[in-house]
């Protein structure tokens, strides 16, 4: 399970391939890549905060899902056309406005499925805000 | 399991209590309430479409989660301060741009937990795009 | 989504291929097969009842998982070497000793993944005891 | 999050309160308790092995579920009448016959819900066989 891109290479790839991610998720950034591990983070603004002043569920879903996609891309390469097939989220605590962080771990990198989990934390506390596990399906590559 | 609000009453409640929902999710609408059942729908625009022209995962998560919240509110009342504790999503097919629909069903309405599932469909096909099951925790009411 | 075996054919196949199922799960039976639908049932004895006199979680897990496998076999054929990759269970109510029933539905039958859900009911009430969603991975067939 | 029982105390409690666990799951043992952490293990015999010679899904479900219950009991006490409300399992690899191990972690210990995850490993490899996340509901204690 050896990464094929480092943090700067994956960041550059995402900016070129998916510029709209950075509109929706300002400050989205790959902060760590190691064998089987990827950390990502993002800022939050009024679009990510819901009534009551806490970070919204869809924002946490998005960070976990993008973290899983970063696991696939960093370990298989930018040509991977993977799609999320399952994502299970447990929400444990409210997250105050501010940056949020996902510490992702590849549980299995098969030829056809990548399984990962993600620990989501927020600002001002080390306690986990949410936990996710998910599966990406990896289409067979049309040879060349 | 008898609803305490009808479609128009819940719609009005949401507009008054959570106006920002209608900015993020244009056309969000309660289309059906019956004992143990709630259907919701929303329009989609460029913010909900990802590269490749399909409706994004966070958008589907949002519709399922709001459907679950509509289950709680319609069957307990607007004073319910319920929070999502778990949401599990299976993504089955791509959804073309256009309105999306969630057909939600209450699997259990306990004093402290509400469990539901949701069938998500899109435009142009009856086939399910995604399936969700989730749990809302219902805080004890401070008596009056 | 057309079944390739009927109830009697799948029952006979399982008895021949997996006789130990009928030791562990007495009375395991395929009661209904239709396009995208399979119902299964089993008896329960002291091995399936836990302290307090209710049917155990592993028993419910087993029925849901075997229901999913019956979905694969009945719609693809007995040569399918599918394996469970994900199973998510919500437990809603206690189930009294007696037969239990799973009403399974295929949500997606792809070339490589089969997604299903299952409504589990027990004896003496129509209310759902548990709800499951799961995924089976279907290996490519080695041609011939 | 301070444990209220150590390994020997919880083992003794389980033997007295749930003797049938040790019939179904031979060698079930609490091997580690620390703040927010509980490890459990069990032996496997012909009842836990399925066709093909690998440990069955229900056996893995059981170990994860008992690990979660051990998290509750060790951190709240033997009077806790907690019940599983949700369990999500990802199966990653086959497990050879032999002892299996669950490394459980409490993600949240609230007044009414305990959320945990579990890493399941088998014999002969450090690689994870399965990963579980689950929720136990903790009934209010009738005061005294």
Cα end-to-end distance, chain C, whole Å? 23
* C-alpha–C-alpha distance, residues B106 and B109, integer Å: 7
* Residue-level length of chain A: 144
Q: Structure tokens of C48?
A: 């399936």
Mean pLDDT of C46-54: 87
Q: Phi and psi for D131 in degrees, rounded to 5?
A: -130, 135
Q: Do D113 and B88 touch (CB under 8 A)?
A: no
Q: Give SS3 for C83.
A: strand
Give yes or no for a contact between B7 and B32, defined as CB atoms under 8 angstroms apart.
yes
Contacts of A87 in chain B (CB under 8 A): 57, 61, 88-89, 91
pLDDT for A90 equals 98
Element (H, E) at B10: helix B7-17
> Which regions of chain B does DSSP assign to beta strands (E)?
29-34, 37-42, 49-50, 54-55, 83-91, 100-109, 113-121, 128-137
Give yes or no for a contact between D132 and D118, defined as CB atoms under 8 angstroms apart.
yes
Of A14, A3, A134, A128, which is closest to residue A64 (Cα–Cα)?
A134
Q: Do A137 and C85 touch (CB under 8 A)?
A: no
Mean pLDDT of B56-77: 96
CB-nearest partner of A58 from B20, B61, B86: B61
Q: Structure tokens of C73?
A: 């076999």
Q: Structure tokens of D143?
A: 């005061």
pLDDT of A142 above 80: no
Contacts of A89 in chain C (CB under 8 A): none
pLDDT for D45 equals 93
Mean pLDDT of A93-97: 94
pLDDT of A141 above 70: no
User: Could you report the per-residue pLDDT of B13-55, keeping only the tens digit for each?
Assistant: 999 999 988 998 999 999 999 999 999 999 999 989 987 889 9
What average pLDDT does the structure give for chain C? 94
Q: Structure tokens of B134?
A: 């989730």
pLDDT for D144 equals 37
C54 min Cα distance to partner chain D (Å): 12
DSSP assigned state of B142: P
**pLDDT > 90: percent of chain A:** 82
Alpha carbon separation from A52 to A94, B83, D109 (Å, rounded)? 10, 12, 23
Q: pLDDT grade, residue B141 (50/70/90)?
A: low
Check residues C140 and A135 and name the one with the higher pLDDT: A135
* C-alpha–C-alpha distance, residues B134 and B114, integer Å: 8
Which of B80-84, C3-7, C27-31 is predicted least confidently?
A: B80-84
pLDDT of B144 above 60: no
CB-nearest partner of C90 from B92, B115, B131: B115
pLDDT for A8 equals 98
* C-alpha–C-alpha distance, residues C87 and C61, integer Å: 8
CB-nearest partner of D47 from C24, C51, C65: C24
Over its length of 144 residues, how does chain D's per-residue pLDDT go in tens digits?
A: 999 999 999 999 999 999 988 998 999 999 999 999 999 999 999 989 987 889 999 999 999 999 999 999 999 999 878 999 999 999 999 999 999 999 999 999 999 999 999 999 999 899 999 999 999 999 886 543
Q: pLDDT grade, residue A144 (50/70/90)?
A: very low
Q: How far is CA C69 from the centre of its chain?
A: 6
* C-alpha–C-alpha distance, residues C62 and B59, integer Å: 33
pLDDT of A87 above 70: yes
* C-alpha–C-alpha distance, residues B102 and B61, integer Å: 10
* C-alpha–C-alpha distance, residues A70 and A90, integer Å: 21
Structural domains of chain C in order of their starting residue, each with its CATH number? 7-137 (3.10.129.10)
Of D73, D61, D56, which is closest to residue D15 (Cα–Cα)?
D73
* C-alpha–C-alpha distance, residues C103 and A109, integer Å: 33
Q: pLDDT grade, residue B2 (50/70/90)?
A: very high
User: Could you report the per-residue pLDDT of B106-127, keeping only the tens digit for each?
Assistant: 999 999 999 999 999 999 899 9
Determine if residue B118 is left, alpha or beta; phi over 0 gives left, psi from -120 to 50 gives alpha, anything else beta. beta
Mean pLDDT of C42-53: 89
Element (H, E) at A44: none
- Is the ipTM of this structure higher than 0.85? yes
Q: For an interface test with B, which of C87, C94, C107, C128 has the most B Cβ atoms less than 10 Å from its Cβ?
A: C107
pLDDT for C81 equals 84
Task: Say what the pTM is.
Answer: 0.95
Q: Is C96 exposed, middle or buried (0-12, 13-18, 19+ CB in 10 A)?
A: middle
DSSP assigned state of D79: T
Mean pLDDT of C5-17: 97
Mean pLDDT of C99-114: 97
pLDDT for C141 equals 66
Q: For an interface test with D, which of C87, C100, C133 has the most D Cβ atoms less than 10 Å from its Cβ?
A: C87
Half-sphere exposure of D113 (CA within 13 A, CB side): 23
Mean pLDDT of A5-11: 98
């Amino acid at each position: 399970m050896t990464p094929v891109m480092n943090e700067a290479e994956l960041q550059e790839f995402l900016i070129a391939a998916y510029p709209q991610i950075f509109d929706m998720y300002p400050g989205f950034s790959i902060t760590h890549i190691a064998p089987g591990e990827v950390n990502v983070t993002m800022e939050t603004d009024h679009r990510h905060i819901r009534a009551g002043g806490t970070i919204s569920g869809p924002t946490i879903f998005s960070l976990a899902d993008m973290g899983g996609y970063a696991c696939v891309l960093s370990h298989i390469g930018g040509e991977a056309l993977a799609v999320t097939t399952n994502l299970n989220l447990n929400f444990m605590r409210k997250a105050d406005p501010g940056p949020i962080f996902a510490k992702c771990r590849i549980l299995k990198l098969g030829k056809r499925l990548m399984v990962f989990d993600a620990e989501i934390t927020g600002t001002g506390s080390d306690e986990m805000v949410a936990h996710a596990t998910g599966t990406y399906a990896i289409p067979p590559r049309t040879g060349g």
